[in-house]
Amino acid sequence: MASKLFDGKRVLITGGTGSLGKVLVNRLLSREMGDPANVIVFSRDEAKQYFMRVVYEQKTDATDEVIYRNFQKKLQFWIGDVRDMNSVASALRDVDIVVNAAAMKQVPTCEYYPYEAVRTNIEGAENIVCAIQKHNLKVQTVVGVSTDKACKPVNAMGMTKAIQERIFIQGNMRCPNTRFVGVRYGNVLASRGSVVPLFHQQIHNGGPVTITTPDMTRFLLSLHDAVDTVFAAIAGGQPGEIYVPRAPASRIVDVAAALIGDRPIRTVVTGIRPGEKIHEIMVSDEEANRTVERGKWYAILPMLPEVRGERNGTGCLTKEYSSNDTVLCLEGTRKLLQERKLMLEDVETFEKELLR
| Residues tagged active-site | 149
Alpha-carbon distances, residue 196 vs 103, 116, 191 (angstroms): 20, 27, 8
* Residue spans of alpha helices (H) in 205-315: 223-236, 252-260, 285-288, 305-308
Residue of 227, 224, 251 lying closest to 324 (CA atoms): 251
Strand partners, 209: 267
For the beta carbon of residue 3, count every other beta carbon within 10 angstroms.
Answer: 11
341, amino acid identity:
K
Instruction: Go through the chain and tell me how many residues it has.
Output: 356
Q: In what order do the strands lie in the sheet with 97-100?
A: 75-79, 38-43, 10-14, 97-100, 141-147, 179-185, 242-245, 297-300, 291-294
The most distant pair of C-alpha atoms in the chain lies apart, rounded to whole Å, by 61
